[in-house]
Structure 1
Amino acid sequence: MAKTVRSLVVLGDSTTVGVGDPVPGGWRGVGPLLAAALPHARYLNVSFTGARVTSVRHEQLAKALSARPDAAVLLVGMNDTLRSDFDARRLHLDLDAIVGALVSAGAAVVTVRFHDHSRVFRLPAALRRALRARIAELNGIIDAVVRRHGIECVDLDSMEGAYSLDTWAVDRLHPSESGHRRLAAAFAERLARAGCDVPGRVSLVCTGGLKVTPLHHVGWLVVKGIPWLWRRGRDLVPYAATITYRSWAGLPEPPRYVVDAEEAVATSTTASTG
């Protein structure tokens, strides 16, 4: 018999905050859309903008566990790929600890593996290659954690409409209302696969969100887009330069963090004792 979800928690970054799906008074997004399909569930969203994996572990996890979740949605990691202090092994330890704690608490957990964001937000070639390499490392870690804990995962790269312009908000960094609805529907489907009763459905018909005009696009580019690209570009430049130089010199790209069986065991031990 399917499990009734009486407590749903959402952890993560600005996407799970709902950025990109504006409604009067603030953001809506994937959390409320998913919660509406689970009418018996108390809903708690502990996510905040700018969160990284370590933020979720040390600032969000305890609050989520206090809600005694039957189901948990976790979407985090993209902010890590955009920073110069990216540490794949640390990220693996933190992600494994987060998922392990939620599963141990009895929650059905759904997370995501990421798409090629450079196909949505255009970047110079060197930065594009650097970002793709980081996302590949992140996805390898996510895959390992998903396998070890037996949780469900939404593959954003293969999700229908993942690279359609109407899936993305004006900033091309966050889902639009349509994108949030697609994501919420995918989460609902995975929770059902995990044995949860999902009585409602997430409609893909956009309604209630604020209309975004061409003026919004121009305004965002000038006020937010160019400054954001400058900040994140500077952060990734050393790594991108290394990739570019190695390519020019005929050298292999910088080694990536690879999770093997021995590393997975070490990670598990450290996460459980850390």
Structure 2
Amino acid sequence: MAERQLPLARELRPRFASLIVGANDTLRAAFAIERVTAALDRAHGALSADGAVVLTACLPDPGRMLGLPGPLARPLARRMHAVNTVVHAVSARYQGVHLHLADHRWVAERASWSVDRLHPSERGHRLLARGFHTALAAAGLPVGPPPPLTLDGPPPTRAGSAVWMATRGTRWVADRCTDLLPGLLALALKECRHGVAGSGRLLDAAAERATRTALAALTEPGGAALGKTAGTVKGAATMAG
């Protein structure tokens, strides 16, 4: 995806560029934090070198958002934690504008999300825009008035959401069953095996080790490994809402 999108984005010579990754990546069987880290670093570095202000955000746990059972929710939370750690570190590496999104209270509100629970609703998009406005202002960049939170129209009704799921949503679920389901089931089976053996902490340790290794592969201009300080990286701004 990055190989296709990054050249197109650079051709536009943007002043601001949003680089939001995580949700779909954590659901895929081919997930590898090493590849995510390298792709994110390459994209952030290129856009920053072009003079763009790059906006990043840490995302909420997809298992919690989708209401998945523990054997599925835990490995997805582990993956999202790894991705968020990398996003924090890479944003700090290039002095981007980062938004702490994952732990804000509006993230848990149903009205902030579309029916698929993975994409923001109009209200969610407005809250995101308000948060980035705050982050840009905190970074000393010129901004206008904050985006309003007033919706353009009424939110979708339950009936409307049901119609979407019965039409477009059914196709989305069918596609995901072939794209994502086998990998998710394998994750759940592995989680259950470790749960029975009481060795779930080994999975946590392996994920943390892989994240440190991925970040250590990125070096600062002076040669210092980025991974040595990744655990203490803090984002640039918080989000009201």
User: Fold match, TM over 0.5?
Assistant: yes
CA distance in 2, matches of 1:206, 1:95: 33
Q: Quick one: structure 1 residues 193 and 179, their matched pair in 2 at CA, closer, same or farther if it must change by over 3 Å?
A: same
The equivalent of 1:70 in structure 2 is 15
**Distance across 1 between alignment mates of 2:177 and 2:67:** 13
1:61-100 superposed matches below 5 A: 61-100=6-45
Q: What is the aligned partner in structure 2 of residue 16 from structure 1?
A: none
**How far apart are residue 114 of structure 1 and its match?**
1.1
* Partner of residue 112 from structure 1, selected from 57, 61, 65: 57
Distance 2:11 2:177 in 1: 39
Matched-pair contact (CA < 8 Å) for 2:48–2:94 = yes
Question: What is the CA distance between 1:160 and its match in structure 2?
Answer: 4.4
Q: In 2, are the aligned partners of 1:243 and 1:253 still within 8 Å (CA)?
A: no
Whole-Å Cα distance in 2 between the matches of residues 146 and 129 of structure 1?
26
Instruction: State the alpha-carbon separation in 2 of the partners of residues 262 and 201 from structure 1.
Output: 38
Counterpart in the other structure of 1:168? 113
2:91 is matched with: 146
Quick one: structure 1 residues 59 and 194, their matched pair in 2 at CA, closer, same or farther if it must change by over 3 Å?
farther
1:214 aligns with 2:158: yes
Q: Give, as a single letter, the amino acid of the residue that structure 1 aligns with 2:12.
A: A
- Structure 2 counterpart of 1:248, one-letter code: V
Change (3 A) 1:219 1:229: farther
In structure 2, list runs of 5 or more residues that go unmatched. 224-241
Structure 2 Cα separation of the partners of residues 187 and 177 of structure 1 = 15
> What SS does the corresponding residue of 2:66 show, helix, strand or coil?
coil
Structure 1 residue identity aligned to 2:131: A
Q: Do structure 1's residue 178 and structure 2's residue 123 form an aligned pair?
A: yes
Q: Does structure 1 residue 258 correspond to structure 2 residue 211?
A: yes
C-alpha separation in 2, matches of 1:221 and 1:192: 39
Structure with greater helix share of residues: 2
Counterpart position of 2:195? 247
* Structure 1 runs, 4 residues or longer, greater than 6 Å off: none
- Following superposition, the deviation at residue 100 of structure 1 comes to 0.5
Per-residue CA distance 1:223-256 (angstroms, 9 max, x = gap): 4265466443332111221122112112234311
Judge conservation of contact 2:71–2:192 (CA < 8 Å) in 1: yes
The 8 Å contact of residues 130 and 236 in structure 1, kept in 2 or not, is answered as no
Aligned CA distance change for structure 1 residues 204 and 71 (closer, same or farther; 3 Å):
same
Structure 1 unaligned segments of length 5 or more: list them.
1-54, 270-274
**Residue 136 (1) aligns with residue 81 (2):** yes
C-alpha deviations, 1:159-183, integer Å up to 9, x for none? 3411111111122121111001001
- Choose from 180, 188, 194 the match for 2:133: 188
Shift in Å at residue 222 of structure 1?
A: 4.1
Shift of 1:112: 0.7
Considering fraction of residues, name the structure with more strand.
1
Q: Contact between 2:23 and 2:62, CA under 8 Å: does it hold in 1?
A: no
Work out whether residues 23 and 118 of structure 2, in 8 Å CA contact, stay in contact via their aligned partners in 1: no
Taking a change above 3 Å as real, the CA distance of residues 221 and 248 of structure 1, as seen in their structure-2 partners, is: farther
SS at match of 1:197: coil
Give a deviation string over 1:75-128, Cα, whole Å, max 9, x none: 122111110000110110000010011111111111111112323211122111
What residue in structure 2 maps to residue 34 of structure 1?
none
Percent identical residues: 31
Q: CA RMSD in A?
A: 2.4
Q: Deviations over 1:144-195 (max 9, x none)?
A: 2122112121122233411111111122121111001001111222222333
Contact 1:177 1:206 in 2 (8 A): yes
**Which deviations, in whole Å up to 9, do the C-alpha atoms of 1:196-218 show, x marking residues without a partner?**
2112320011114x641221232
